[in-house]
Structure formats: C-alpha cells, structure tokens
C-alpha cells in the first residue's frame, strides 16, 4: 500500500497520521509516542467537509493484516491499512467517540488471528474484561503551586518519609474518588511527605498487586477512569503530599491479549527464552535493544510524569534488568558481547530513561529497587552511573530486621547488623524501605517479627522506627505497619483499621505521627543525608548492652543525638558524649505514656552536657534510656517532646 496523491483520501485513510510522524519511534527518540499511536479523537478534511471520529494506530510490522473491531461496528471488524514504511497499521473510523470499546485482530504470517488489546490504550475495561476504551482527558489541574515548589527542591536535602500503599486494599472496595479525602486526611495527619502507590497501570490479576502490567498507559480501571486518578493525585498535591508510583519496565505477563508475541513475532520481547523470559515469574522480558521498545517504555515513564503529574517513579526489579544471569542456572543465559553477565542494553536504557526524564520534568525522583551491589546506581549518568535519584537500601533492611527478630539475649552477637549500614551509607543516595515485600509470603507482619510478649513487641517496634527515622537516608513504610497490624499483607481484604484504636496499636500510630513531625522540624535529620559529615557515632560498640548512639548534623549547624536501647533493661544513668555543653532537649521518647509506653523512663525534658570530654567529644551528659526504647536530644530551641501534647 502506498500514499495517494490525494491528501483528502489519505486523511480519511490514515486519520492525519503520516510516515514522518513515526520516524522518532523507529530511532527510539520519540518519547511521546502515546500522542501518535493508540486511539485518538481527530477531525480530518473529507470530500464534503470536516469529518470527526477516532484514529486507531498500532505497531505490528510482521502482521499480514490488522482490523479494529468494537461496539461501534458490532465487533465485526474494520480493516486497517499499513502506513508505508512504518510497520504501523492505521484506521480512521468516522463517528466513533470517547467511551467506545475496541480491540485489534492481528493476522500473523502463518494465518492465525490474534485478538489483542491496544498497547497504547489510555483506558480499559474492568478486569477480567480486556477491551480497550477510547479516552481523551478533559481534567483541569489545580496543583501549579505544588509543581513550582517541586521544581525548586533539592530532594537529597529535603525531608522525605514515604507511606507505601496498595490502593485496592487500603480501604477495600473504594474508588479513586471515594478514597481521596480519606487518604489525604490520613496521610496529612500522619505527617508523611509522600505516598507511594503500588503499580496503578492496568493489570488483570489482583494478586500480582499491579506488577504484571497489560496496559502500560491505562490507569487501573477497577478504581475508576483516568481522570478520577488525576483527581486523587491533584488533591494530594494540594495538601502538600508528593506521589510516587511503582513502574514495571522489567517484564510483562503472557496474557494472550497482551503485548506478548503481539503480531505473531517477538515484538516487545526477546525471541530467545534465555533472554526473553523470566521462568520464575512466568513473564516476558522487554528487548531493550530495540528502538521501538525504548520509545514505548521511555514514553510510558514520561506519560505518567506529565499526564498524571506523578512526582517520581520507583522502578521495580532493577537487578533483574541489570544481569543476564538473574535467577538463571549456567547455560540458561546468553553472555554480553564481552562475555560478561551485565545486560548492556538494559543499562543503556536505564541511563537513557533517567537522564531524559530528569531533563524533561523538573524535580522528579527516579528510585531504583536494586538488591545487589551494582556500582553507581545513583551516580549521575555523565559520571558513569545509572542516574537514579535514590536507591532502596535492601542491605540495611535485611540486616536490621534480622536483628530485631532475634531474642534480646542473642542480639549482642549480631550487633554488626545494626551498625554495618553506616559503612556504606553514603555510597549511594538511599531510601530505607520497610515495604510490602517484607510483610508477605510467610515473612510475618512487622509486629509479629519481634519476639516476646505484646509489651516487648510494641516497645521494640517503636524503638526500631525511631532508629530508622534518625538513620541517614529517607524512609519508606508500608501501610498497616504504622499501627502494628498483625496479619500479613493480603490484597483481598482491607487493612484492619479497627485495631488502631487498641492499646499498643494506637500508641504506635501516634509515635509514627510524631516521628514524622519531629523529623520534618529538625534539619539535622535530613539536610546532610548525602554527606558523611552529617553523621557521627557516639557509641557504636555497646554490643552487650544492645545500645547504639549517634549524632546527626544539619547543613546549618543543627545537631540531634539519638540513643536507642534494644535490651529489656533500662539505662538510668548512661553516659554519652556530646559536641557542645549546655541544655539538650528531649524531643522524642518512645516510652512516653501517649505511645503506650511506661512513662517511667524520661529525662524531665532535657539533660545538661558538662564540659567533660568523653571519647572524641568535648562534653558529656548522663541520660535515661528506656528499656526497648529510644530518646532523641536536640540543642535547637524546640518545643517539648510532642508525645506529651498529642491527643488520643
């Protein structure tokens, strides 16, 4: 098929799409391909005047024929035409408007007909139905103030505490709009700076939690239409809350109507299963070396950042992308051109997507879930790194959870699990994650990881969270962990909100609220996260006592001392070194009665540091540290411990 000499005829055939519109797609340079492929409401010039309808365009270069069928043609199908030299099939259907249902029928080179959803659809039917839906947004945003402030922020020097949630079970059965005000109110009350949403791209299988995506450009329709999601994000921004969304460029499922073998050939994935399949997950792996696939994925990332005003993407399973032998036995993988195990094409892709997005959208965060010691994950691309803004600190998470899972009597033999993270704390820009992955599949909920009776469980968890919030790095906590839900995460049911009114649970919830408040009001805890000068050990060696103490310093000279006791024995006269004399205010005590602690072990609001050297510090103070508790001291002129003022 060729272009005709009659522009009117071509407009009706191709809906205004021309071959040159797709040149960037084929070179990998078009990062807004959703504007060209997929379904679009257009008006074209016909012989008798303008004609309105929908243009359908889909990439299927190996197909013998493609047709679009939907509720507008009784699902009988309308043949599409191959736009010369592009591998893209196009069809313009007059009279079709927003809300129309459709699918593509794709005939392979072997004559088999495949029924496929549109890879570029921006809306889709509620699963298990799988038709695509014609959609154009008419949403008007009201978050300009937030976007302007975001563009000026230095994320590494800003407070960042992230509340991770699975939207489908945070309040089970509620839509985007129905959950909006509750989520805004709760996150504001708790004091988190950001929410992180498990993937909200269209996915058919609820137990995948969104990590097996069939519609990369469609918001999950179970909860409403795309503009309903825009409304949720807009309201969070208006409340001063950032929105991070999980993004899954590492693999995609094999559903027959999805991306896999789209035109009968391995189009989006590698043909060789040693490169193109995750056997453990039953999914396909994207072919990062193919220009059109790069265009598809980078466009998808940019789509969520620009069309939905998302503030950052947490990139799932980065390690599986970086290594060709990931979860593979010898002989089941193909080495790179140098004989190594690194996936050079995936590495180039990650560098491309990170550098491109950060140039295009000011102030966004790109976050890697990367579980190995791959070097330079958060190093800038121009310095040879991957260019991520942050990396999840999986080593810190594994070590410290292992520590609190031990009985206190055995913790002295594993003290290194508490302290080792500071050996490499500045090798990357880290987020400390207690995510959904840590409270599923038999790992136990956070409260049930801790041995002992309920008093010990809640006290230890309060101390652990205080340790986490005072440790260099940003923080992430999965929903339900903030009030000590006992069952593991289960996407099929709602959180057990009713327990948050009970003893222990409510105190823990109030502690998280105050941790966030104190954290955000003390620059010592976040402005120098990326600088080793922002941290100093007071005492890292008290293994037998199960205690650690350290100093945090802000870029403006602010100082905060944290002392944590993971033993059941109170320290009623513990000596610590301090950098200056004078009054140090107790700004947090996890044993306060308001947190359902004993209220017996405090420092009457402050301690006095005397000019008596201790270790490498010029001053010393005697402090009271509760059993399985933590206290923070600041020399800034701050208010009394908010735990004494919180209301129930």
Mean pLDDT of 61-86: 95
Distance CA 9, CA 3 (A): 9
Does pLDDT of 63 surpass 80?
yes
Residue 296 · residue 142 · CB < 8 Å: no
Tokens read off for 49? 């005047």
- What rounded mean pLDDT belongs to the chain? 94
User: So what's the pLDDT on residue 6?
Assistant: 55
Contact 474, 520 (CB under 8 A): no
Is the pTM for the entire model greater than 0.75? yes
**pLDDT value for 47:** 81
46 pLDDT band (50/70/90 cuts)?
confident
Task: Give the pLDDT score at 398.
Answer: 97
DSSP string, 407-438: -HHHHGGGTHHHHGGGGSTTSS-EEEEE-GGG
Which tokens go with 447? Answer: 């409260």
CATH class of residue range 407-426+446-473+498-648: mainly beta
Domain ranges in the chain are 7-133, 159-392, 407-426+446-473+498-648
The 10s digit of each residue's pLDDT in 599-641 is: 999 999 999 999 999 999 999 999 999 999 999 999 954 433 4
Contact 217, 140 (CB under 8 A): no
Closest by CA position to 505, among listed 480, 527, 535: 480
What pLDDT score was predicted for residue 234?
98
Residue 4 has what pLDDT? 52
Is there a common fold for 7-133 and 407-426+446-473+498-648? yes
pLDDT digits (tens, 9 = 90+) for 497-525: 999 999 999 999 999 999 999 999 999 99
Position 252 scores a pLDDT of 96
CA 546 to CA 554: how far, in whole Å?
27
pLDDT at 129 over 80: yes
pLDDT at residue 354 greater than cutoff 90: yes
Contacts of 510 (CB under 8 A, 6+ apart): 594, 595, 643, 646, 648
pLDDT of residue 117: 98
Is pLDDT of 532 > 50? Answer: yes
159-392 CATH choice from 3.40.220.10, 3.30.420.340, 2.40.50.140, 3.20.20.80: 3.20.20.80
Confidence bin at 387 (pLDDT 50/70/90): very high
Q: What is the pLDDT of residues 402-460, one digit of tens each?
A: 999 999 999 999 999 999 999 999 999 999 999 999 999 899 999 999 999 999 999 99
Task: Tell me what the mean pLDDT of segment 294-315 comes to.
Answer: 98
User: Residue range 375-389: average pLDDT?
Assistant: 96
CB 422 within 8 A of CB 393: no
Check: CB of residue 313 under 8 Å from CB of residue 301.
yes
| pLDDT tier for residue 187 given thresholds of 50, 70 and 90 | very high
Instruction: Report residue 648's pLDDT band, with 50, 70 and 90 as the boundaries.
Output: very low
> Backbone phi, then psi, for 74, in 5-degree steps?
55, 30
Q: Are 547 and 566 in contact (CB under 8 A)?
A: yes
Q: Does pLDDT of 184 surpass 60?
A: yes
pLDDT over threshold 50, residue 643: no
Residue 57 — very low, low, confident or very high, per pLDDT cuts 50/70/90?
Answer: very high
Q: Across residues 465-477, what is the average pLDDT? A: 98
- Active site members: 316, 369
In the chain, % of residues over pLDDT 70 = 96
pLDDT of residue 471 exceeding 50, the answer is: yes
The architecture of the domain spanning 7-133 is Sandwich (2.60)
pLDDT band at 161 (very low <50, low <70, confident <90, very high): very high
């Amino acid at each position: 098929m060729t272009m005709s000499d009659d522009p009117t005829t071509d407009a009706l055939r191709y809906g205004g799409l021309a071959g040159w519109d797709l040149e960037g797609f084929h070179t990998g340079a078009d990062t807004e391909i959703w504007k060209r492929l997929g379904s679009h409401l257009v008006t074209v010039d016909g012989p008798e005047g303008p004609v309105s309808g929908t243009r359908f365009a889909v990439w299927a270069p190996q197909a013998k024929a493609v047709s679009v069928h939907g509720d507008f043609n009784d699902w009988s199908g309308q043949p599409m035409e191959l736009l010369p030299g592009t591998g893209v099939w196009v069809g313009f259907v007059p009279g079709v408007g927003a809300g129309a249902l459709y699918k593509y029928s794709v005939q392979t080179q072997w004559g088999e007909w495949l029924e496929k959803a549109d890879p570029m659809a921006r809306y889709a039917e509620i699963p298990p139905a799988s038709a695509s839906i014609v959609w154009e947004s008419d949403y008007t945003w009201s978050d300009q103030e937030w976007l302007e402030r975001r563009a000026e922020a230095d994320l590494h020097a800003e407070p960042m505490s992230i509340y991770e949630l699975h939207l489908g079970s945070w309040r089970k059965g509620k839509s985007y709009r129905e959950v909006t005000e509750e989520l805004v109110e709760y996150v504001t009350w708790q004091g988190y700076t950001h929410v992180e949403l498990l993937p909200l791209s269209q996915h058919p299988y609820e137990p995948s939690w969104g990590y097996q995506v069939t519609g990369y450009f469609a918001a999950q329709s179970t909860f409403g239409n795309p503009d309903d999601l825009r409304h949720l994000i807009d309201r969070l921004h208006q409340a001063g809350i950032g929105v991070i969304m999980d993004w899954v460029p590492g693999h995609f499922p094999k559903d027959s109507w999805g991306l896999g073998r789209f035109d009968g050939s391995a189009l989006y994935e590698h043909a060789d299963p040693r490169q193109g399949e995750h056997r453990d997950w039953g999914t396909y792996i994207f072919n990062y070396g193919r220009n059109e696939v790069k265009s598809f994925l980078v466009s998808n990332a940019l789509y969520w950042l620009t069309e939905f005003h998302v503030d950052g993407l947490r990139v799932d399973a980065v390690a599986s992308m970086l290594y060709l032998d990931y979860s593979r036995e010898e002989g089941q993988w193909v080495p790179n051109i140098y004989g190594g195990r690194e996936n050079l094409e995936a590495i180039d892709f990650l560098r491309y997507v990170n550098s491109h997005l950060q140039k295009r959208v000011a102030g966004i965060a790109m976050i890697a879930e990367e579980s190995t010691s791959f070097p330079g994950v958060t190093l800038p691309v121009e310095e040879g790194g991957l260019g991520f803004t942050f990396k999840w600190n999986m080593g810190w998470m594994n070590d410290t959870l292992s520590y609190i899972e031990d009985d206190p009597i055995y913790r002295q033999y594993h003290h290194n699990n508490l302290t080792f993270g500071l050996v490499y704390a500045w090798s990357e820009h880290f987020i400390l994650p207690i995510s959904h992955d840590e409270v599923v599949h038999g790992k136990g909920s956070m409260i049930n990881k801790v041995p002992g009776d309920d008093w010990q469980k809640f006290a230890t968890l309060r101390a652990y969270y205080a340790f986490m919030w005072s440790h260099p790095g940003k923080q992430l906590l999965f929903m339900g962990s903030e009030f000590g839900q006992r069952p593991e995460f289960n996407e099929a049911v709602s959180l057990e909100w009713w327990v948050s009114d009970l003893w222990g649970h409510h105190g823990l919830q109030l502690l998280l609220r105050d941790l966030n408040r104190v954290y955000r009001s003390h620059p010592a805890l976040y402005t120098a996260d990326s600088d080793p000068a922002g941290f100093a050990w007071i005492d890292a060696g008290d293994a037998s006592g199960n205690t650690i103490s350290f100093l945090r310093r802000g870029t403006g000279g602010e100082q905060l001392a944290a002392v944590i006791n993971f033993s059941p024995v109170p320290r009623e006269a513990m000596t610590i070194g301090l950098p200056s004399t004078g009054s140090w205010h107790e700004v947090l005590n996890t044993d306060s009665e308001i947190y359902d602690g004993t209220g017996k072990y405090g420092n009457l609001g402050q301690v006095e540091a005397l000019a008596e050297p201790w270790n490498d510090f010029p001053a010393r103070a005697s402090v009271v540290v509760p059993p399985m508790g933590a206290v923070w001291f600041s020399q800034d002129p701050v208010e009394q411990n908010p735990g004494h003022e919180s209301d129930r």
